[in-house]
C-alpha cells in the first residue's frame, strides 16, 4: 500500500522522562513537508550521547522525545522541492546538517551548518516549527534532527547523506556518529602527523576510532587511558600500543604521561565527557606544541579550567563535532572507504538486538562490555 502523503503509524521508543525506561509506542509520523525527507529506518545503533540526553543533563534535552542519531535506512517519501534524494535511496541521517549555502558552510573553516540548527535544538522541524511525531494528537519532540529510535522518521533534506545501495545498512549505520567522530578528530581537527605520540582518554567506540585514525596517520605511539583495564585487549586491535589505568598511580595522570613521553604527548583526545579528564588531557601535552582535542560531551553546568600558563607556553585546546566531517559530502566517502576495507566498522559492533529490546541495549552500554549495539528496527 502506498504510504506517500499519508500519516504512518509505526513503532518507536519514546523517552517520556529522564532516566525512565523508554516505552515502545505506536507513533504517528506525519508526511514530509517542503524540504523534508521521510526515512524508513532499518538499523540504528546507540551512542553515549543518547544516554547523556536521556539522563536529563543535556540543556537541549526535551521530553517526551524520540532519541537516536546513528542509523541507516531507505527514503520512503520526500516533500516539495527535495531534489537530491528520492524514494528508494539508501541514506544515513546526519545530525550535523550541510546546506552548502549558509555562512558556516561557505566559510570553508568548519563543518557546522547553521541552516536548521535552531530547529533541531528545539526538537521541531524548520518549516513550521512543529514536530512530525505525535501519539493520538499529543506532540513528541524530535532529537538532534534525526530521531532514529523510530521505524520512520522525518528529517531536513540538508541532513540526509545518500550512500552506496550495496553497503550493508546494519554496519554503515555507525557512520552516523561515533566512528567518523573519532577518525575525523585525528584527520581533520588535530591533523596528526606521522611519528606523533598520541594519548587517548576513554576507549569506547569514539576513543577506539581515534586510535584507528592515529594508526592510519602514522602515529609512533598510541597511549590508551581508561579506568577499565579490560579495554586494553580490544584496544590493541584498533592500534593502541600502550595502556595506562589512572587507578594504578598515586600521582596525577598528566604527570604519569609527561614522565612516560619525555615531556608530554604531541596530541591528546578526551573521549569521555569528564571535565577533570579534559584538564589532564590538555596538561599532558608537550610544552610548545602539544594539542588537545575535546571530543566528549560534558553535562550541563560543567566547565573546563586550567592555568592560562598552559596555553601561554604553547599548548593548544580544541574541540570537534562529528570529527569535522561535512556530513552530506563526506559520509558517502566514508561508506566507500568501508566498502574498500580501508576503515573498520564491523569490529565496533559487539551486540545486535531489536528495537523492542532497546532498554536492554542501554543496560549493555552502561555495563562496559559493549562498544556499539545495533538495533534492527523492523521484523
Ligand atoms: N563531539 C562529538 O561530535 C561526539 C561526542 N561524543 C561523546 O564522546 C564520548 C564518548 O562516547 P562513546 O565512545 O560512545 O562512550 P563510551 O561510554 O563507550 O566510552 C567511554 C570510555 O571512557 C572510559 N572512562 C570513563 N571515565 C573515565 C575516566 N575518568 N578516565 C578514563 N577513562 C574513563 C569508560 O571506561 C569507557 O571505556 C561521550 O561523551 C559522547 O557523548 C560522541 C559522539 C560524537
Ligand atoms: N545539546 C548538547 C550538545 C552536545 C554536543 O556537543 N553534541 C555534538 C554531537 S554529540 C554526538 O554524539 C555536536 O555535534 N555538537 C555540535 C552541535 O551543533 O550540537 C549540549 O548542549 O550539551
Ligand atoms: Zn553520537
Ligand atoms: Zn549550512
The CATH number of residue 366's host domain is 3.90.180.10
263 and 364 inside one domain: no
Residue pair 32/154 in contact by the 8 Å Cβ criterion: yes
Same domain, 44 and 131: yes
DSSP-assigned beta bridge partners for residue 78: 37
Residue 332 lies in a domain: no
Note whether residue 254 is domain-resident.
yes
Residues 216 and 163 both lie in one domain = no
What CATH number is attached to the domain comprising 267? 3.40.50.720
| Distance, CA of 280 to CA of 283 (rounded, Å) | 5
How many Å apart are CA 317 and CA 291, to the nearest integer?
6
Contact 25, 7 (CB under 8 A): no
pLDDT means per 10 residues, the chain with 379 residues, are: 93 98 98 98 98 97 98 98 98 98 98 98 98 98 98 98 98 98 98 98 98 98 96 96 98 98 98 98 98 98 98 98 98 98 98 98 92 97
The answer to whether the complex's ipTM is over 0.95 is yes
Which ligand 1 atom lies nearest to the CA of residue 323?
3
Bridge partner residues of 126 (DSSP)? none
Residues 125 and 29 in one domain: yes
Torsion-angle region of residue 322: left (phi > 0), alpha (psi -120 to 50) or beta? left
192 and 147 co-located in one domain: no
Helix (H) or strand (E) holding 17: none
**Nearest of 191, 203, 208, 374 to residue 289 by alpha carbon:** 191
175 DSSP assignment: G
Whether residue 335 is contained in a domain is answered as no
Catalytic annotation present for 105: yes
CA of 297 from ligand 2 middle (Å) equals 7
The count of domains in the chain is 2
Instruction: Give domain status of residue 340, yes or no.
Output: no
Q: What is the per-residue pLDDT for 1?
A: 64
For residues 169 and 185, membership in a common domain is answered with no
Ligand 1 pocket residue status of 52, Cβ below 6 Å? yes
Phi-psi region of 75 (alpha: psi -120 to 50; beta: other; left: phi over 0): beta
Rounded to whole angstroms, the Cα distance separating 196 from 138 reads 54
pTM of the model: 0.98
Q: Which of 320, 336, 355 is the last residue of a domain?
A: 320
Tell me, what's the pLDDT at 369?
85
Q: Is residue 218 domain-resident?
A: yes
Residue 122 and residue 193 in one domain: no
Q: Would you call 102 a catalytic residue per the annotation?
A: yes
Residue 160 lies in a domain: yes
Q: In sequence order, what DSSP letters do the residues of 134-171 get, joined into one string?
A: EETTEEEB-STTT--SBSEEEEEGGGEEE--TTS-HHH
Q: Give the model's pLDDT for residue 368.
A: 81
Measure Cα distances from 20 to 99, 143, 348, 359, 370 in Å: 36, 17, 27, 10, 21
Whole-number pLDDT of residue 146:
98
- Which structural domain range is residue 55 located in? 8-176+345-376
188 in the same domain as 156: no
Residue 177 Cβ contacting ligand 2 at under 6 Å: yes
* Residues in the chain, overall count: 379
User: Cα separation of 48 and 210, whole Å?
Assistant: 16
Residue 329 lies in a domain: no
Check whether residue 164 and residue 236 sit in a common domain: no
CB 297 within 8 A of CB 278: no
Q: Which of 10, 65, 99, 173 is catalytic?
A: 99
Q: How far is CA 372 from CA 7, 40, 172, 289, 349, in A?
A: 32, 21, 12, 34, 5
Look up residue 206 and give its three cell numbers. Answer: 569514539
The pLDDT value given to residue 138: 98
Residue 2 in any domain: the answer is no
Same domain, 240 and 283: yes
Which secondary-structure segment (H or E) carries 53? helix 48-54
Please identify which of the residues 113, 284, 285, 373 carries the catalytic annotation: 113
Choose which residue among 68, 187, 271 to substitute to test ligand 1 binding: the one with the highest number of ligand atoms within 8 A of its C-beta: 271
User: Which of 3, 9, 102, 221 is the catalytic position?
Assistant: 102
- Are 302 and 368 members of one domain? no
198 forms bridges with which residues in the sheet? 222, 267
Residues 170 and 196 in one domain: no
Question: Residue 241: which of 264, 255, 259, 261 has the closest Cα?
Answer: 261
Amino acid at each position: 500500500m502506498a504510504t506517500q502523503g499519508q500519516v504512518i503509524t509505526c513503532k518507536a521508543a519514546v523517552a517520556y522522562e529522564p532516566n525512565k525506561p523508554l516505552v515502545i509506542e505506536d507513533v504517528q509520523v506525519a508526511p514530509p513537508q517542503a524540504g523534508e525527507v521521510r526515512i524508513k529506518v532499518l538499523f540504528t545503533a546507540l551512542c553515549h550521547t543518547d544516554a547523556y540526553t536521556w539522563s536529563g543533563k543535556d540543556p537541549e534535552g526535551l521530553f517526551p522525545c524520540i532519541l537516536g542519531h546513528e542509523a541507516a535506512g531507505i527514503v520512503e517519501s520526500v516533500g516539495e522541492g527535495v531534489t537530491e534524494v528520492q524514494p528508494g535511496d539508501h541514506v544515513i541521517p546526519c545530525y550535523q546538517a550541510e546546506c552548502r549555502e549558509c555562512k558556516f558552510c561557505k566559510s570553508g573553516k568548519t563543518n557546522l551548518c547553521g541552516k536548521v540548527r535552531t530547529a533541531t535544538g528545539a526538537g521541531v522541524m524548520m518549516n513550521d516549527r512543529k514536530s512530525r511525531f505525535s501519539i493520538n494528537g499529543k506532540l513528541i519532540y524530535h532529537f538532534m534532527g534525526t530521531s532514529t529510535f523510530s521505524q520512520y522518521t522525518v528529517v531536513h533534506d540538508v541532513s540526509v547523506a545518500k550512500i552506496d545501495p550495496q553497503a550493508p545498512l546494519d554496519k554503515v549505520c555507525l557512520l552516523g556518529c561515533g566512528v567518523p567522530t573519532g577518525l575525523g578528530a585525528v584527520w581533520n581537527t588535530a591533523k596528526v602527523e606521522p611519528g606523533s605520540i598520541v594519548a587517548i582518554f576513554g576507549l569506547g567506540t569514539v576513543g577506539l576510532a581515534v586510535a584507528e585514525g592515529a594508526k592510519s596517520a602514522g602515529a609512533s605511539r598510541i597511549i590508551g587511558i581508561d579506568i577499565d583495564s579490560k579495554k586494553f585487549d580490544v584496544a590493541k586491535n584498533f592500534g593502541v600500543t600502550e595502556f595506562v589505568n589512572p587507578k594504578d598511580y598515586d600521582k596525577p595522570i598528566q604527570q604519569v604521561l609527561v614522565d612516560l613521553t619525555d615531556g608530554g604527548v604531541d596530541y591528546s583526545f578526551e573521549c569521555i565527557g569528564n571535565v577533570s579528564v579534559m584538564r589532564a588531557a590538555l596538561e599532558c601535552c608537550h610544552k610548545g606544541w602539544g594539542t588537545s582535542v575535546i571530543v566528549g560531551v560534558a553535562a550541563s553546568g560543567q566547565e573546563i579550567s586550567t592555568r592560562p600558563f598552559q596555553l601561554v607556553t604553547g599548548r593548544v585546546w580544541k574541540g570537534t563535532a562529528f570529527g569535522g566531517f561535512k556530513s552530506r559530502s563526506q559520509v558517502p566517502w566514508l561508506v566507500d572507504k568501508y566498502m574498500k576495507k580501508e576503515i573498520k566498522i564491523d569490529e565496533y559492533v559487539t551486540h545486535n538486538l531489536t528495537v523492542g529490546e532497546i532498554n536492554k541495549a542501554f543496560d549493555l552500554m552502561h555495563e562496559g562490555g559493549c562498544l556499539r549495539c545495533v538495533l534492527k528496527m523492523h521484523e
